[in-house]
Each structure stands twice: as structure tokens, then as C-alpha cells.
Amino acid sequence: MARGTAQQPQYTVNIAGEPQGAVTLSVSGRITLDNLNAFTAQARAVFSDTSPAKLSVDLFGLSYLDSAGALALVQIEGEAKAKSISFQFINATDETSRMINLIDRKALTMAPLISGRVTANLIEQIGEASVSFLNDIIMVITFLGELLRALMYSVLHPRSVRWNDVLFYMKRAGVDGLPIVSLISLLLGLIIAFMSSLQLKQFGANIYVASLVAVGMVRELGPIMTAILVAGRSGSAFAAEIGTMIVNEEVDALAVMGFDPIRFLTVPKVIASMLVVPLLSLYASLFGILGGMIIGVTGLDLSAYTYVTQTMDSIDTFGVVSSLIKSAVFAMIIAGIGCQRGFQVRGGAESVGASTTSAVVSAIFLIIVCDSAFAIILYYIQM
């Protein structure tokens, strides 16, 4: 006979019968989570001490049994059957039987939900990556359709747009990004002017450094560098914000209240990005030209007036307009991908981090692809 500690609910276990024969295990008192370890150890000792051919567990004196105690009894039953020992519960009250029947015996022997991972060969890895990439493209296209529908609704119903949020995201994506855009663009203009001057001055063509910097910054480097910086700053923030709302079930609450999550959360971010990124692009081009002028004036013996004049002669309206259009498209990609990755979050903080990383990487990849398409299209338009 054994008892739990003074702080634990009391229980009593009596063993009767012949070793290697029919053994009865009488349990009385309370079997709960508090004394579960001691009870389980004592009950399982029956198998090693008596090696019974038949085991009966008498539950007549059991006054209380919680789910943990019921699980322990079912595990003893399973262990007996695994040892080919005839087993039965006897004298159980209706309440005790109901508690034991709550335990799903099949679930105890079921294979784990996540099986051990087996390293796939190269062909299987390529196949899995291809299927994952295809599914990702389908989800992005589906989200794009929903976003375009929400934007069209906002155009037809401008009062439905949360303009206060648009202004808030314009500040976050635009005004707050001015310092880093200024610094990067200025340094980029300095580097381009310096490296190009090393080659051009061999032919006495220093004056063309201004044209090279101006065309490069306005048509290509200004929009694409701005887009990459905004993707790193704002695209990741959009994904993390919506992903955290998904984890906290705030998006589900919006849907229950009758709000469209795409229209409520994504449209203000997209509109704000499409308004400020083109302006940031012009701002970046201006600072890139300024960086080139610093090199031209200090290292190439060019006057500020000469540099500005050559720059103005190199820039045309078509280049500026195409730069603004590209920047607006890049902005839509950044905000759209950031929000789409945020809505994909399932799980906890780890999933939010993965989606944030994916938003930045995917946005930069799509920006490069889109810029390549623009380069080809604009080339044939100018022909």
C-alpha cells in the first residue's frame, strides 16, 4: 500500500493475486495530475514485480479522476496489451467510465503529425521548389486581382479611403526616408562621376561626366535605388505590421465587423507609396546630380554653370516622365508585395520575421524584373 504526499490528493493502491497469474490492482482515492508520476510508477511496477498473465484494475473505490489520471490508466491498459496481458477495468462507476472514454486510444498510437524529415534528392528538391514557386506566383496574382478591385472601388468611392492613414504612410514612407535617400544618392553620384572621369579625362571628354551622371540617375539609378531603399524600409514594415495583426487575430476581427481587409489595410499603403516614391525618385536624382557636380567642380576643373548647363541639355521630358511612371509602378509592387506577404503569415513571431524577409527579397526581385521590362519597352517607344 502506498500513499501520496501530504500536500497531494490521497490515493491507495492494493495488489492481490498470484505472480504470473491473475492479478487485481485495486485503486481508491483521488488520481489527479498532482500525484500522477507516483501513481504511474507504482502501477507500472506491477508488470515487473508480478509478471501477470491477466490484470484487472478495480476502480470501485476511486472517488475522483481527472483527465490526466484517465490518461495514465489508458496508458497502463496499452502497456498491458503490448505485453500480451489480458486486461480489463472492473467496478468502474459511470462517471469514471465517461472520463476514461474521453481519451482517444487511437490518437495515442497515431503517427506524429510532422514525420521525421527525409532529405530529398536533387530532383525532388527542384520539383518541390518549382511547385512552391508556382503556388507563390498564383497567390501573388490572386492578391493583385483583389488589390486592383479594391483600388477601383476606392477610385469610384473616394470617401471610403482612409485619408488620414494615407497621410500617415506618406510621412513614414516619404518624409522619414529623405535622409537615407539623400545620403545614398549623393554618394552614388560621387562614385559614378569619379569612376567615369577616370576614363573620360583620357580623351579630354570631362564635360560628358555631367551628361552621364544626369542620364544615369534620372532614367535608371534614381528610380531603382529609391525603390530598393523604400522596399527595405517601408515594404518590410508593411509586412510586419499586417503579419502582427494576423497573429493577434485583428484582421479576423475586421472581417467579422464587415470591413474588407484589403481595402482597409492595403489601399492606404499603396496610395501613399504611389504618391511619395516618384517624388523621392526625383529627389534622389537631384542629389545624385549634386554629387556628380561636386566631383566635376573640385576634380575636373568644370564650373558649376557649365555642369548645370550640360546636365539640362542631357535631360528631356520623356526621361523624366518615364522615371516617374517607373517609380509609381515600383511603389505599387513594394506596397502590394509587403501587404501580400503580411497576409500570408501563419503562426507566431517566427512567421512574421520570415514574411518580412520574403517581402523585401520578393520586392527587390520584382523591381529588377520590372525595370528590365521598362528598359525594353522604352527603347522601342523612343525608336
What pLDDT sits at residue 55?
A: 83
pTM of the shown model = 0.67
Which pLDDT belongs to residue 274? 93
> pLDDT at position 6, please?
40
Cell numbers placing 228: 530598393
pLDDT of residue 349: 80
Mean pLDDT, the chain, as a whole number? Answer: 85
Residues 6+ away with beta carbon under 8 Å from 177: 229, 230, 233, 234, 280
The predicted structure's pLDDT at residue 120: 65
Domains of the chain with bracketed CATH: 11-109 (3.30.750.24), 131-382 (no CATH)
Predicted pLDDT at 118 = 60
Q: Determine the pLDDT at residue 287.
A: 93
Cell of residue 94, nine digits: 459511470
pLDDT tens string 209-238: 888 999 999 988 999 999 999 999 899 999
- The tens digit of pLDDT for each residue in 61-70 reads 888 888 888 8
Of residues 301 and 268, the one with the higher pLDDT is 268
Closest residue by Cα to residue 76 from 108, 43, 113, 30: 43
pLDDT tens digit sequence for 143-190? 999 999 999 998 898 888 889 999 999 998 888 889 999 999 999 999
